[in-house]
Each structure stands twice: as structure tokens, then as C-alpha cells.
Structure 1
Amino acid sequence: MAQDIIKKIQTFFHSPLQTGEKRKILYLYDEDEQYDEQLTEWSKETALFELLKVTDHNYFQIHYHIEKVMADKNIVLYYTIKRPNDQENPMLGVLLYSYELKLDQDSQLYAAIGIDSTNEALTDLAKQYQTFFKSKERTTKFKKFFQQMITQNQETMEFCILAVLTKAKQPDWTNSLIELFAESVKGQTMRWSAIEKFGNKDRFWRLINRLFGFNLSASKTGKLSIETLMEQLFITHLASEWPEEFPKAFEPFVLPKVNQAIIFINQWMNLRDQQLSYIQVADQLEKELGINQLFNQESLANVTEVQTFQWFDNYLIQQLASQLANGGIDYDYYDQLIAQRRGKFWYKDYRTAYHALRWSLKLVKAVDEMTSLLAKIHDKHLFWQMYQTNFYKIDQAYRKFYFYSDQLIHLNDSFEDLTLTVERHYHQLFLKEFAAKWDQLVMQEARLSRKDITQQTHFYSDEVASFVEQDKKVIVIISDGLRFEAGQELFQRLLEDKRFTGDLSSMQTALPSSTALGMAALLPHQQLAIESTGEVRVNGLSTESIVKRNEVLQKNSSDKALAISYDAVNQLSRDELRSEFSGKKVIYLYHNRIDAIGDQRITENDVFAAVEETLQQLKRLFIRLTTEVSAAQLFVTADHGFLYSRSTIQSTEKVQLITELKGTSYNKRFILSEQENPTQTGLSFSLANQISTNRHVLIPRGINRFSLAGGGYQYVHGGHLPQETMVPLLKIKMVRGRNDIPQVTVNLLSQTRTLTNSVIWLEFLQLDPVSETLKEKRLSVYFEDEIGNKLSNEQVIIADSRNELSQDRIVREKFILSTISYQQSSNYYLVMKNSKDIKDVTKERFKLDIVREIE
């Protein structure tokens, strides 16, 4: 309650009784109940009076209390109703011998809006906004905002008034300006009209001048308007991002107080609930200012840090795609450039394009490095190891490039030349050279398998049998067509989840690398044979379906074995799944997405999307199995890999069959026959040292395909290349109670803690590289004062470097401090806030010795 009202009540009741008075009665009309809470609380604390609240429905009760219950007590009659006419007032008789506490309009106003009537600065400002406070709705909203303010002064009071008039969510000038700008680009003026009608536009423009230096002389139009202010703020921010001399056409736009403009735009970008408004305003200004025409000849170096308008991301992506397509690039520079864009405002809208660029860069770089490595390999085993540790990354980069570039719509034209470059590197420079070298090494040994390369046919005896002997549950997930590079990515995704740990290795399939032989080879067997029909049998039993494989498993492990499809598991509830797996010790779970899509001509170009879908499905399956079913060990492997090229297979890469070749089973990558079929266009091998058969397999040389009807030519398997024959073997265990993988630590490297300039460059060090035991950290970094007010722009640091050298893990960021008056005796803080953990906040204390830059 305002102090003057308290004093008036106290003075009244402390005054002597008049002749004939036995007690004093004071009454007060307060229809809006502005003093309800204060009077109620005070009446409980004081013996000076009793409080009676008068409504339309308790006149009789009030009369009774006055005349009977409280006949000798001082009373305050608090009317929470509108004052009635004397003729209609049931309490008139009492009021005639009572005294009224009358409040002047100013006092009522101060009480209504919640300001101290003794604070002349606030009361003077309130008088200037009397029109604003005539509305109960505006007054209520103002009071709610003003009570939130840590500091209550003229400035914060005016911010609250602006927030109400502009319908801002927070009572600060930043949110109020955002609302005005968002309205302006829609061609509306309701909020600005409210300022003109109920606010004070002269005081508004004085505030804007104080913040940004925007006045009649600084305005490019010579007029004060929201539209001009908006344009000049955006251009000022753009100028601050420009590394060289800013285009002269925009020099008149740049505002005198640059720092505050930078901070305003940056804060707008970082307000999550206002990002849509930023996009709408920026896009509209981009068109009106003709950004695309003014900057379409700029060098790549000039736009690498620009984020004011999204056109620059479009332009940057086009330039990067063009330069990557033309070759002769600095891989590390381009990779760093793309990585830096991740912290920019528009990155989320162009993430797919940047991913495509980055994977194309990885592919081209890896292919260039492979050329020199191939010449040094003279052994099949070493080649196999090199694929498992190094060369697989090329196939992975190729897949990832197309997975992302296939999702692009409006940037398709920009990627046409880059796609040709990717195809040339992958298909011509990698696959053909890689396959030729493999052919050479295979022919030197004249045999398909080696003891020092783990064979798929030994999987059950080497990995599963020991669990069966110990009566422990083991689950084997077989994903049709999951080649090694995809398995490696699945392994990484599983390790990122704190629930899993394990190992990744590889196995070599038998030839041909087909579904029929691969599925059979993974089953328990003493004999593996291919019939004249092409059917593969295990110990004389058919394996052509899941039902048949279930019979093989149960014959080996009685009723403790189960073969089931992924689709069937998906249909089961938790209880049904537990019931289905109950008592089972060996469970083979078959997943088929990659091969199902790739083997069809009309869908083969969707195979990379199918791989991504497979990785997601398998991870979800792992989470479900480890949650709902207990197992000592989980394996993931595949029947075979695959070979895929997006470019059309040329006629020179298709091998025409000749009548002399007699085969029992045909495929675009192999022919099974009863006798050896020597030919200049293929490699012929006896299968006797792999499986129980006298048959031979003919494989086309390199990446060639046999010319056969049916199916597609781009997705194939059955051949001898590592892409087809190297399948992943993931050995995964669930770790219960395992703590989450910790994030890397980021420290401020700069030593100085006293700043003398409003533009600051600081260095940060990621202490350790990202690894299997340390994951990346994303930080929001900015300066604030002692009470938490932001004083600078906000930078995003993504600490995900895997570089071993510490100097390669240093990042340098630019901070712009607000142009306010800083106290040398006060403390200011650099805040480093973990974006994924609100409790992880580091603060470094600074002293600021900066000359004030505004009046």
C-alpha cells in the first residue's frame, strides 16, 4: 500500500475522539479492490482498527457487527462496490456519522499501477502517460510486467509501457521492437498506432536514438519510421559481418552505434519463440533491399561469416558446390568453413545441403588419398584390412552424399556439377581402380578365402556355439544387405547410447555373395551345399525361408531356438514379445529393408534412404530388446553387402553371355555352373574349398555386370568385391547402470581478465578430442552483468573435433559488448552454457575498463 494512505489511516485513528464519539469509523470506496490485499494484511497485524468488507450482499451483517459485535471498536468499512446513490444506500445512516477516506486521482493511479507515490521520477513519468493508464486492461498488464522488474526506474517503467502497447511477451525494448518490425512487414500498424495514441512517440524515438543513434540526420530517408529503422538495423548488422570494405551503396544505412545494433539482431536470432518473426522480417527485407542483385559477385571469403539474410547461405552453398565440383581445393579449409556454419542462424534450414557438401568433400579427399595407397598394397589380406579401416569410408561418404542431396529441392541445380564430380571420383577413380586392384590380388592367390580373414561360414561355431553350451540367451540380428560401412555407422550410433557397449569386426562371405548362401552360412551346420536348382541346404535341410531356418535351428538346439522376422516382432506387444522369447536361448531375428528396396528396379535408387531407415529401425529394435528381453549377447550381421552406383551402368560395363557358358543359377554378378568357365571377361573359381560342392562360380571382372533381363543394374551383389563380401559383425552388450558418456571439456584460453575494448576476440580450447569415451559439447557463450542481464552477442561453440593436436582444437570467437556505462568496481561474467544441460554453466569473472560510448 502507498505510504501516504497508511499515514492518513494512522493519523485518523490516532486523532482524539470528538465530543460524543466513543470510537471512530472510516470508510473507503475501492471498486477495483486495489487496496484489498494490503488492507487485509495490515488489519491482521494492527490493533488500531477492525476491517469490514462491504458488498452488495452483506449490508445486514455489517450493520449487526457495527452496532452489536464491534460497538466499541474502531472500524474501517472497505467498500468493494461502486458507490450507490444516497437514496439507494442502505448504509447511509452509518456513513453520516463516519468519515470518508478520499483518494486523489494521482494517488489512485499510483496504487493501481503499483508504483511508490514518493518516487518522484516514477510519478512524473506516470503523469505523462495518463492516457495509457485510463484503460484497466493496459494498467493490469503494466502492473504485472513492472512487478517482474528487478530494477524499477523510469527506463524499466517505459519498457513495460512499450511492451503492453506492442503486445510483447517480455517487458524490454528488444521484444517491443521485434513486435513492431514483425507487424510492419505484414503491412499492419496496430501496435505503432497504439504508441501514437496511448504512448509517447517522441519519447520512443529518443529511446531509439539513445540505443542506436537513429535520428533524423542518421535516417537514410530523413524521416523517423519503423520501416527505415528496421532496414538500417539489419544493414548495420550485415556491415559488421563483412571482412572487407562494405559496399558503398549501403554506407548511408549503417547506424552510428553499431554495437547495440549487433546485439539486438543477435538476441533476436537467439530468442527461440521469436525466430519465426526474424525469418519473416529478414526475408521481406532481403527482397526489398535487393540483396541477391547487390552481392551476387562477392568472393567466397567475404560471405563465410555472414548470417543476417538467408540469401547468403544459398549463395555460399552454390559457391562451395561449384568450387568443389571444379577441384583444386583446400580440403581442410573447406571442411572448417562448413563446420563453422553450424553455429549460424540459418544453418538449421540448410543443414541437409551442408551435410551433402561435407560428405562430398570427404569423398573427394578420401579418393585422392586412396590413389597413392593402392600402389603400396601387394597382399590381399592387407587390402582387406585397409578396406575395413580406411577405404570403407569412401563408400560411406558416397552413400551419405546421396542420402542428403536426394532430399534437396530448391538447390538441385547448384548440385548438378558437384554430383558429376562425385560420380567421377567414386565410379571412375575409386570403384574401377579399387576393383582392378582387388582382381589382381585375388588372381595372384587363386583362392577365395584365407585363414587370416574371418569367414562367415564359421560364425555359428566361433560366436554362437559357446553361448548355447553355457545355456545363455543370445540374439542374432541379420539385416539383409547391411554392408560393412553401414554396420560401422550403426555401431557408432549404438555406442552413443549409454546403454550399449561392444566391438565391431568383419566377416567375409562365401561366393557367391547372395542372400541364399549368406543366410545359410550363418546357421549351425556341418555341411553347406548348393543343389543343382541353386537352392542352398544346411545338413540336407532347406534354408530358403525363415520357417525353414527355424527348423534348422531347432534341430540343432531343440525347442530352445527361434527364427523370427523383424516385422513379426514389431507386431508384438511387450508381454507378447516376452512370451515369444521365453525359454528360447538362440534367437535369429531377420530384418529386410535394404535388399528389399535395392533388388527392385523401380526402387533401387532409394537404397541409400533404405539404409538410413534400417539404421534407425535397428537402433530402435536394440533399445526395445534390451528393455523388454534379457540376453547375454546380441549380434548384428548380414548375409551379404552390395555394390551400388547412382550413374547409369554403361554398355561397356555389361558382359554379354555366350552360349558356351552353362550355368544353373544366374545373377548380374555371378553364374553358378557345374564346370569351370574360363573367360576373358570374368574370374572363375571352384567352390569346393568353401562349401560342399563341385560347382564353380564365374564373377565378372571389376565392377562389371552380366547382361541379364530383370532387376536393376545399379544395385547388385553376388560378386567378390569387399563391398559385397565384407559384412559387419557387431557384438553388443547392454550395460546396466552405466553413466552417460561424458562430454569434452572446453576452457577459455585467453588469460586477460580486464577488457578495455567493446570488441573482443577470445580463444577457447577443447581439452581432448571426441572419442568413444568423450562426446561433443555445444555451448552458448556470452557476457552478462552481476544480475544476469546479457551485455553482448551470443556465440555458439560446437566442440566436436577429433584432432589429436591441441592447436587444432582451438576456436576463436568475436564478442561485441553493449555500449553502456560500465563500472570498474563491478564484476562482469563470460557465461559458457551447455545447450544440452542447463546445470552445466561456467562463468569467468571479468573487469571492464571501457570508456562510455553513448551520451
Structure 2
Amino acid sequence: MSIKIQEALEKKFRDHDVIFWYDDRNELKESFDALDLKGVEKCHLQSNEFEIKYKITSNTTKIKFLVYSNTPKPKPNENWLLDLELAYHVFHTDQEAIILQDLGLEFSFKELVGEHIQFFKSKERVDKLKDLLGKGDSHRDIRYKMVAVTLNTDYVNLNTFIHAHGTAFANGNEKLQRDLERYELSDFYWTQIQNKFKYTSKTPSIYDFLVEAFTDNFNTTASPKLSKETRLLLALWKDSITYREGFDKISFQIASDLQVESILNTLPLEKAVNDELFKLTDKKIIHDLVQRLIINEISNESLQNIVKQREHTFWYNPHFVAFYQSVSFASQLQYQIQKLKVEFMSVENGLEQYTTSLYEIDYLYRKFILNYRRSNQDNILAGLAQKVEKIYTNDWLLHYNDKWQSIIDDLENWPVAKNYSQRQFFKNHIQPFVEKKQRVFVIISDALRFECGVEIHKRLTQENRYDSEIEGALASLPSYTQLGMASLLPHKDLSIKEGTDQILVDGMPSMGIASRSKILTENSEARATAILAEDFMKFSANTTGRDFVKQYDVIYIYHNNIDDTGDDTTSQDKVFDAVESELNFFMDLLKKISNMNGNNMIITSDHGFLYQYETLEESDFTTADIKGVVDKQNRRFVLGTDITGNDGVKCFTHEQLGLKSTGNALIPKSVNRLRVKGAGSKFIHGGASLQEIIIPVVKVNKKRQDTTAQVEIDIIKSTDKITTNLLAVSFIQTEQIDDTMLERKIKASIQAEDGTLLSDQFTYTFDIKEENQRQREVKNRFQLTAQASGKYKNKRVKLVLEEPMDRANKWRTYKEYYYTLNISFTNDFDEF
């Protein structure tokens, strides 16, 4: 006790020159005697009032006085030192007084401490409260901060209290409620909720209150019971990193108790899309989108707008992103195929049309299957998947490859001498670097078809300081690995080794890294080598990597993820996952190359592939009636000597394929497969379909200056005054999205100048590609809180636009727009 009294008095003497101390029960005389206060004279009051009064009033030094009495304090009319007591300070040593002195609070708060004495019996709670207290705190302020300590929240804010309380309840933790009652804070807490949210109940409970809040904000017909403030309460809860899991749980429980599923069953899709409170709502929306898409009762534009609207809702990511992406890609796929009117006039024309636009259909199919698999839900998406498979196979793959086949049938020779041929790759794309004595890295990904190359190209154009161009090339035929890989090497002649499918480059074997390194060295007239991507990635960029790179001007880097996954019957269903993995790997590989001072990079492939997710039908296979000596046969080509087949295959001699060997090759027409025992039939290549023989050539250059920028966001501001509790704002994306002008994500809200949030928050990703600026306008209505027409009335406030910080789960200010609050008192009344 002596130590506490010493500390309390030292603190008080910072602000007072004279302190009176009445020890009514004569319990602390020893503590008084033991006190050693620097610069303080101790005076024991023992019928010597006039002496002490004279000493104090005549003092001209800096010394301070502690006047102690171990008798009860005299009545005012008998107290000869009353005037000094009133002028200076009276020190108290009862329990409440000690607590007040420890907290640095005035004696006027004694009743508050006594009312909540159980709260102050914990040093930990008292220390936390100390950290929160501020100068000039009122009784209400202190109780608010006591509630913050009790509920263990980071913010002294009623919304945050409810988020914490609701989350605890959802987790089955009733301790917070018991603590509020134990510390006599429950009545205060519920009074604050009643004042702000208009919630009344004889037996208030957090769950009962939240049920009413959810009901008000979900029910589109009945009059609300609570104030409009609940909208912001729930919106902030969803945005809270600390308590969002609690929102998930409480929403699930309330949905069950309110029988939300039965309500949603009768709710039109157009109304359901506006709800963000219940997980069931997203299930309802996805169900309706799928059904409408299957029976063609929704336009692609309408569906994409709904998906965009749900993009920043609570359960979109991670719960439903795969579902929404599935319906989005399915709708785009159906739309693209339905509007197709294509005729192929020549090989060059087919190459141009596919690389300009037609590749998008294969891209959309890949993305649909990828997300369909990620959803792990056959029931809801099964019917849509069947429709997608049907239109992709019949209306796209089969129909247009049949048309393409007519061009193939008319060919006498495969065009290997044309500039767009894979066989001219080294001459057209690598030789210029050799002649300029510039280092170039060639990344060859087995089975990277053209649409996959477009995706990596688009990623690179959005990567700052990377310049990327893409063009299509026509792969060698048959479109299999050995021939495709050999075609990319410097060569004069290619031939098939007799009796095999192995390729000789100017008489040299071409299988394996060692063989390809030898060919590069002997045929390139440059310091050249080949290496596996896995081995290359093991280098340290600043040491072993740079030492390796210095030795060569041409470096071929090989990777085999897509083909390796697709060729295996046990993993072929994961081939689109392998594509995603490959694209991510490219980004890491290219950055590693640039860290080794590599500026020139080219990505290409040996061949593409055909892939259909569903099990193939009998009609997808053809019987070729092959005769002659067969050296190699798979689903999409046959090699041999003097071999022939029926009308289901196209026959080429080696000479017609630009090979210096003798023999024949049979290619099944269109997208048909040959029957081959044990071979997978979903993932195939070797034939002449658009998907198999059109490959990407992506030219990448690392720049020293910035190559990308984000679009700017502005608002159409017609006034600088806010006169109602609803503020309509029109946001404008000032530029259209393109390869180098990137999207911008913002979070907008109305805030007071002191940072207090005065509205709900609006999150949106501006990625609009429309050229017309009016089509890049996005509108939102902000609901303002009661504080906007109360504490902050007639004050200046700001519309704050924030953007996410890179690699951090935080936001930074992007732009601010100022308004003056001038809301009429009539706006505080709900409609009645």
C-alpha cells in the first residue's frame, strides 16, 4: 500500500503544490511516516491548523506541502483550513480513490468506479483502460472504453463491439456477455445500442438484435424495425478482417432460423442479386444463372453484369469464385460460337483468323473446364458442363475443323518454306539476334498451344517493364514432339530415322538435351547451348546463373509440364491445371532471366493439342484400314513405309512434308482419333487441327522504363453539398482498358476530416474496355450514418477513394473529394 500511495502522491504533486490527506480510520499513519517525497514538507495535523496555514500561505520557496490528518475530516463550518482545501487538492485513500488516482482521474468519477468495482479488480484490465483514457473523457467515454477492454476490441466503437460480441456468440463463447453483466456494463451497452439502432427489448440479447438487423436488411417489403444504421453495421462486419469469420457463422445460423431458403425460392433473380447477407443467396443466383443459360433465357451481357456485380460481395471469393467464373466463361463461349460465320480460304487465311480471334473459343473452353473442376460440384454445374461440351465439340471443334480439313485436303505439300512455318523459326527469330551479337533466351514449352501463348503474352503486357509481342506459327506435320522440337533448331534438312519416329537434324540425332546442344553449337554460328528449365531455375541469379549465361549467346530452355500431364491417362484430366501452372512458371522463369541481365526472350512450342474433357463418343473414333509397314502409330498420326488408308485419313509422303527421308504419314481428318490400345483419347496431338498445328511465338523484351499504368478514376461532381442521408455518386473510368492500361481497384466511403467513417463502403474493380466514356460510368448510392446529421452536421467531409497496397492487406488513399454536410433534421426520420 505504501508504494502505491507514494506513487499516487508523486503523480498528484506534479499538478498541485498542497495536498490534504484525511486518514479517517487512522490506518495509514505508518505509511505517512514512511513517505519520502522530494521537495515536499510533511505536516501532521494535530490541533496546529493556524501554524500550518501560516506556513503554507507565507511560503515563498518552491517547496510543496503534504498535510496529513489521522482523524475524521471536520465539518465545513469547523474546518479552519477549508479555504486551502478548496484552493488545492484533497487526497483520498479508500479503494475507489486509489483506483482513481492510479488512472489519473478526478474524484468526481468515484461513483463510476464504485458502480463497476469488479472491473477494476484486475490489473490487466486497469492497465488496458489506462492506455485508452484521454484528457477530458466524460463518464460515457470512460464506460465506452471499459466496454472495449471487456470485449477486447482494438477500437472504441459500438459497431466493433457488436462485431466482437456477435463473433463470440457465433463461436459459442458466452464469456463476453457474462463479463458485461459482472462488471455492471450490460445496461450501458444495451442503452447505446438502443440509442443508435432503435433496438428495444425487455431481455436484450446479441442474437435477437442481429436477427432483427439481418431481417431489416434482407426483407424488401416489410417496414424496418431498426434504424438504417444497421446497414453500415453489417457492411463493416463483412469487411472486418478480425471478425468476418463470425459474420459467416452468424449469417448461416440466422438463415436457418429465418428459413431464408424458402424465401429465396420465390425471390426473382433480379432482386436476389442485391443481397449480400446470406451464403444461400449466392447459391440461388448461381442456380438461376445456370438454368437460364442452359435454356438460353439470359443474354451474355446481362449475365456478365450480374457476375461483375457479385465480384466484391462477401462470399464471392473463395466460396463461389469458381462457380461464377464457370457461368461467365460458359456464357462467353456460347455467345462466341453462336455468332461464328467463318470460311477458310487458304492455310494463310486460316492461320490469320485463328490467331486474330478464333483462338478465344479454345481459351474460354479451357477456362470453363478449369473452374468447373475447381468448383468440385457436379450437381449444380453438370447440366451446363454437358451443354458446353456439346456446343464446343459439335459446333466448334468438329464443324470448323471439318471446314479446315477441306483446305488440308487440297494441299500437295505442307508449307515448310513459308515465313509463318515453324521450320523457319531459327532463321526468322533467332538469327537476327546472332547477327547483332545480342544474347537471346529461347523457352520451349512442350504442347503450349496458341491460346495459352496469348494468355502469357497478355500477362506480360500487364507486367511493368516487359514488352511483349505474339504471332502464330504453323507447326510441322505430324505435330508430335520429336519433329516439333527438331524444327525449332537451326538446320538445313530434317529426316525421320528409318523404322522409327526419331528425327535427324542434318544427319544428327535430336533427342535429349545433349543432342540439341550439339546441334545448336554446330549449326548456329553462335555460342549456343540447351538446358532443362528445372536445372536453369537451380542457378543463383547473381552468381552461378550469371557465370553460366556469360558463356553463351543463344540459350534454349526446355520445359515439359503440359504434355507430360496430358499424355498420362491417369493425369490427363488435370491438363488445364498444368497449363495454369506452366503460365505461372513462365513468370518466375522470365524474372530469373532478367535478374541474370537477360533482356531478350522468346517463348514457343513444338506443337499444340486437342482436349475434350468428357469421355468421347464412338463417333469420335475412325477406322483407317491401314495397310503397309507401320513404324509408329498414335491417336492422331501414323508413320511407315508404303502405308495407305481409307477416306478417313489424309496421306502425305515425307517429301510432301518437307522431310529428306522416304516414307509416308497418315493424318486422321478433322478431329477424329484412331483406335490405339492403351493410349489416352482426351488429350491428343499429331494431327492437323487448328488447335494442334498453330503454335505461339511470344517475343519478350525487358525494358528500363515503365511500360504500364493504371486507369484513372474520377467522379462527376454536380454539387459540393450533401443534403440527404443518401449520396449518389457517378464514378468515371477515364481511360479504356488495353494491353498497357491496367485495371484499378478502389474502395470508396464518406469520412469526416478526423477519419470517422460516415457511410457504407463501396468496392469496385474498374476494368471496363468500352471506348465510349459514358459506358465507363459506374454509379453507387452511399448510405450515411446518423452522425452525418448529428455530430458532423454543417462540417466538411470527404469522399475518400482508396486503393490496395502491393503485397499488403492494407489500403492507401488514392483521391479525395470534399463536401459540406447540410442534412435537414427531417432526414433523421424513417418513412412512416
Does 2:436 match 1:470?
Answer: yes
Quick one: which of 245, 254, 277 aligns to 2:246?
277
Quick check: 1:102 aligned with 2:91?
A: yes
Shift of 1:442: 2.7
Total equivalences in the alignment: 770
Partner of 2:639: 672
Pick one of 185, 204, 212 that aligns with 1:232. 212
SS in structure 2 at match of 1:169: coil
* Cα distance in structure 2, aligned partners of 1:740 and 1:145: 48
Give the match for residue 326 of structure 2.
Answer: 356
The answer to whether the Cα contact below 8 Å between 2:526 and 2:554 also exists between their aligned partners in 1 is no
1:248-327 alignment runs, 5 A limit: 254-257=224-227, 259-327=228-296
Indicate the residue corresponding to 1:442 in structure 2.
408
Report the equivalent of 1:195: 180
Give the alignment's TM-score, normalised by structure 1.
0.84
Indicate if the aligned counterparts of 1:829 and 1:843 stay in contact, CA closer than 8 A. Answer: yes
Task: Look up the equivalent residue of 1:850 and give its one-letter code.
Answer: I
Q: Distance in 2 between matches of 1:39 and 1:639?
A: 86
The whole-number CA distance in structure 2 between the counterparts of 1:77 and 1:519 is 97
Match of 2:315 in 1: 346
Q: Return the offset for 1:313.
A: 1.2
Equivalent residue number for residue 391 of structure 2: 425
Matches within 5 A, 1:417-816: 417-449=383-415, 454-532=420-498, 533-557=500-524, 560-574=527-541, 575-627=543-595, 629-675=596-642, 677=644, 679-689=646-656, 690-736=658-704, 738-739=705-706, 741-816=708-783
The aligned residue for residue 144 of structure 1 is 131
Closer/same/farther in 2, CA of residues 34 and 774 from structure 1, 3 Å limit: farther
Report the alpha carbon displacement of residue 228 of structure 1 after superposing the two structures with TM.
Answer: 0.8
Structure 1 counterpart of 2:818, which letter? R
Which residue of structure 2 aligns with residue 92 of structure 1?
none
Aligned to 1:367: 337
Secondary structure, in 3 states, of the residue corresponding to 2:755? coil
Give 2:588's aligned amino acid.
R
Deviations along 1:103-162, one digit per CA (max 9) or x if unpaired, are: 365665444334456xx7x77755654553454433322221233x9x844443332121
Q: CA deviation at 1:783?
A: 0.7
Please tell me whether the aligned partners of residues 480 and 606 of structure 2 are also in contact (alpha carbons under 8 angstroms). yes
Give the conservation status (yes or no) of the 8 Å contact 1:750–1:764.
Answer: no
**Which stretch shifts more, 776-785 or 131-140?**
131-140
Q: Please list every run of 5 or more consecutive structure 2 residues that lacks an aligned counterpart in the other structure.
A: 20-29, 43-59, 71-87
Q: Deviations over 1:306-345 (max 9, x none)?
A: 1111111122122222222222421001001101111111
Any conservation in 1 of the 2:460–2:468 contact (CA below 8 Å)?
no
The structural deviation recorded for 1:494 is 2.0
Which residue is equivalent to 2:56?
none
Match for 1:843: what amino acid?
A: E
Q: Does 1:847 align with 2:817?
A: no
Is 2:626–2:645's contact at 8 Å kept on the other side of the alignment?
no
Question: For residues 671 and 36 of structure 1, do their structure 2 counterparts lie closer, same or farther at Cα, with a shift above 3 Å needed?
Answer: farther
Report the Cα distance in structure 1 between the residues aligned to 2:339 and 2:381, rounded to whole angstroms.
Answer: 23
**Given that residues 442 and 602 in structure 2 are in contact (C-alpha distance below 8 angstroms), is that contact kept between their aligned partners in structure 1?**
yes
Q: Which runs of 5+ in 1 are unaligned?
A: 1-26, 49-54, 84-98, 217-221
Q: Give the TM-score normalised by structure 2.
A: 0.86
Look up the match of 1:212. Answer: 197
SS at match of 1:757: coil
* C-alpha distance 682-127 of structure 1, shift in aligned 2 (>3 A): same
The equivalent position to 1:132 in structure 2, one of 116, 119, 137, is 119
**Distance change (3 Å), C-alpha of 1:275 and 1:725:** same
What is the SS of the residue equivalent to 1:422?
helix
Shift of 1:673: 3.6
- Report if aligned partners of 1:676, 1:685 keep a CA contact under 8 Å in 2: no
| Structure 1 residue 367 displacement after superposition | 1.1
Question: How far apart are 1:729 and its partner, in Å?
Answer: 0.6
SS of aligned partner of 1:384: helix
Q: Secondary structure at the match of 1:850?
A: coil
Q: Identify which range, 178-187 or 267-276, moves more after superposition.
A: 178-187
CA gap of 1:659–1:816, structure 2 versus 1, over 3 A, is closer
1:238-257 C-alpha deviation (Å, 9 max, x unpaired): 23xx4xx35xxxx6xx4231
Answer whether contact 2:18 2:89 (CA < 8 A) is retained.
no
Compared with structure 1, are the counterparts of its residues 812 and 76 closer, same or farther at alpha carbon in structure 2 (3 Å cutoff)?
same
Q: Distance in 1 between matches of 2:284 and 2:454?
A: 34
Greater mean deviation of Cα atoms: 313-322 or 588-597: 313-322
Between 1:693-702 and 1:160-169, the stretch displaced more is 693-702
Query: Relative to structure 1, is the Cα distance of residues 204 and 801 closer, same or farther in structure 2, using a 3 angstrom cutoff?
Result: same
- Structure 1 residues 681 and 602, CA gap change in structure 2 (3 angstroms): same
Q: 1:155 to 1:782 in 2, by over 3 A?
A: farther
1:560 and 1:584 in contact (8 A); partners too: yes
Q: Secondary structure at the match of 2:204?
A: coil
Task: State whether residues 782 and 792 of structure 1, in contact with CA within 8 Å, keep that contact through their aligned partners in structure 2.
Answer: yes
> Whole-Å Cα distance in 2 between the matches of residues 360 and 733 of structure 1?
34
CA distance in 2 between counterparts of 1:548 and 1:213 reads 81
Paired position in structure 2 for 1:158: 143
Query: 1:717 & 1:448 partners in 2: Cα distance?
Result: 17
Contact 2:567 2:684 in 1 (8 A): yes
Q: How far apart, CA to CA, are the structure 2 residues paired with 1:613 and 1:34?
A: 66
More off after superposition, 719-728 vs 107-116? 107-116
CA–CA distance in 1 between the matches of 2:244 and 2:39? 62
Per-residue CA deviation, residues 376-413 of structure 1 (Å, 9 max, x unaligned), is x434422221110111111111111111111123x331
Q: Give the aligned residue type for 1:285.
A: I
**Counterpart residue identity of residue 137, structure 1:** E
Percent identical among aligned pairs is 23
Give, in whole Å, the separation in 2 of the partners of 1:116 and 1:748: 50
In structure 1, what is the Cα distance between the partners aligned to 2:13 and 2:435? 83
* Correspondence for 2:48: none
Instruction: Name the SS for the 1:177 alignment partner.
Output: helix
How far apart, in 2, do the equivalents of 1:47 and 1:101 lie?
A: 9
- In structure 2, the residue corresponding to 1:699 is in which secondary structure? strand
Query: Partners of 1:803 and 1:125 in 2: how far apart?
Result: 62
Partner of 1:7: none
Distance 2:678 2:112 in 1: 84
8 Å Cα contact 1:146-1:160 kept in structure 2: yes
Query: 2:91 corresponds to which letter in structure 1?
Result: K
Give 2:27's aligned residue. Answer: none
Query: Alpha carbons of 1:752 and 1:662: their partners in 2 closer, same or farther (altered >3 Å)?
Result: farther
**One-letter amino acid of the structure 1 residue matched with residue 244 of structure 2:** Q
Cα distance 1:165–1:727, how it changes in 2: closer, same or farther (>3 A)? same
| CA separation of 1:713 and 1:131: change in aligned 2, threshold 3 A | closer
Letter in 1 for 2:102: A
